[in-house]
A and B are shown apart, each in its own frame.
Chain A
Amino acid sequence: MKLREWLIAFLTLLFGRVWRRREERRARKRIVPAGSPERRAETVVVILLAIASLFALGFIVTYAMFGPEQLPNELLGICLGMAMAFIGAAFTVMAKKLVVTEELEEDYPEEHPEEQEKVAQIIEESGSRITRKRLLMGAGAVTAGSLGLAAVTPALSLGPIWDTGPLDESPWRRGMRLVDEDDHLYRASDVDEKTFYTAFPEGVDKEDLAAAVVMVRLDPRALHLPKGREHWAPYGIVAYSKICTHAGCAIALYRKPTFAPVEPRPALVCPCHYSTFDPATGASVIYGPAGRPLPQLPLMVDGSGYLRAGGNFSERIGPGWWNVRSQPS
């Protein structure tokens, strides 16, 4: 008798917690309702995951098999993409067959008018020791404002905010020779009619926005340049800033009529928004959204026949901003 009691006591001590817990668990009320088992769906999920794994391995194998230049991008993408797709499919099967989809109700969260009042009350009552609220708030505002300004001040070092001089600058000076992209000097005799050229000032960084000009040769009789520019176009060669005055793209198009009676006159066109400029009239805008003509570079020909700038541009180059129409220095 005693031995059996001892044995039962011992076993109960050892396993009783687990037994009781399982009993408790079995006895407690279910939160998530039970659902029927779906062995077939489980198998499908395993198969889908297996296929996904194969694709994932396929990715690794494809990566390893080919050198960088032969590696077919499509194959890599298919392997990884299909691996993902099959995992997604596995989860879909799980969602539809292997978990219980309950429809539960819940109250939408409400407002809490009492709590709102309490919060307001806490804040109000905390001010019991303050007599001159407005003065303190004003002082706080001034401090916050000045500290905020101080915090923002280092941003002025980002760039020349106060000095917009760089926007006005241009590397062109009177006498500078014109070169092409490969630094070959332009002679006036190199410049044909019916085509267009890109030119830069000799010895200047070509990425300078004000450096690039587009150059065309027109029949001198067809020129109607603005007043004061009569001598800017030797032999009918005109040069304008290549940077569109609308938003800053390069004027990369030129059209010339093969048969003038039925075809439009020569024009420089920008490929971004199709602003169109007439080189015969000082690159005035004849189509498109640009608000300003292209600045003109005066040209002259030196004793050896090389093209040289006769001075700076007629106005500031590039897209418009506050000071863009001010006379350049």
Chain B
Amino acid sequence: MSRPRAITILAATLTLGLVAVAEAQPPSGIVRPTTEPARPTLELGAELYAGNCASCHGIAGSGISSPRPGAADIAGQGPPLRGVGALAADFYLRMGFMPLPEAHREPERDRVLFTDKEIRSLVSYVASLGPGPGIPHPDLRRGTIQDGLKLFTDHCAGCHQIVGRGGFATGARIPPLQGVTPTEIAEAVRTGPYLMPRFSKSQISDVQLDSLIHYVLSTKDPDNHGGWGIGNLGPIPEGMVAWWIGIPLLIVACMLVGRRLHS
């Protein structure tokens, strides 16, 4: 191997290695203590809260209703967290909804920036702020998918689309529901994140919630025995298939069969 080539390869390897090392470090934007305990603790939760959440949610979860410029030019504004309980904290953190970069943005599923230990710590801290609902424990041995489809049609399809492909409601982009865990579904239903309604046990009982979870989980793999499901969205992808597959094929057939005059 020639010398210039060897140097190039070495340089490339080093660069890639540096990038890899860089990725291995914790993502920027999260303020964390230099040493963290081995297990989730309330203190860790308090520290993480102070460093990452207080700028919008206020000291001890009191909430900030009018924007106040805080650290790093973030104009903090956020709802109070007293009494939201472990349920809401767990949901928003595990879905990556929080931290929210900007108060007016819609929280959307995103990369989770905290470790599991950190999330548990934060959840216990938020739960300590005031009495609130705990993390739900759905039981998939209960409930039926048939009830789930009916309940979903009643309460959820208007926003999430009948096969859970998401959609639009004035002011919100509604997420699709594939790839969520049973706990996350239960938490979303009970807390009503962002603009979503909040369904309590008197409206949707725990067993009914289990049925709903059965159905939502099934939307990951709907019954597409008619062929390719093309997104399970209905006529829009169907029209695309007609115009971008069907019509071109038919035009090709015409060109194959037709001929130009030779004279």
Contact = CB atoms under 8 A, between A and B. Distances in A.
Q: Do chains A and B touch in the complex (CB under 8 A)?
A: yes
Interface of A: 72-74, 77, 88, 92, 95, 101, 103, 181, 190, 192, 194-198, 250, 252-259, 261-264, 267, 269, 271, 274, 276, 287-288
B199 A195 contact: yes
A296 to B, nearest CB: 20
B225 A73 contact: yes
Interface of B: 65-66, 77-79, 103-104, 154, 157-159, 167-172, 192-200, 202-203, 225-227, 253, 256-257, 259, 261-263
Given A192-B202, A192-B203, A261-B66, A255 B227 contact: no
14 contacts: A250-B158, A254-B158, A254-B197, A258-B79, A258-B192, A258-B193, A259-B78, A261-B65, A263-B195, A264-B171, A269-B169, A271-B158, A274-B168, A274-B169
A288 B170 contact: yes
A96 to B, nearest CB: 8
A269 B197 CA distance: 13
A305 B211 CA distance: 30
B186 to A, nearest CB: 15
B169 to A, nearest CB: 5
B257 A95 contact: yes
Contact of B197 (A73, A74, A196, A259): A196
B227 A263 contact: no
A170 B14 CA distance: 77
B259 A192 contact: no
Nearest to B225: A73
A262 B194 CA distance: 10
Nearest to A95: B257
B209 to A, nearest CB: 14
Contacts of A194: 192, 197-198
A320 to B, nearest CB: 21
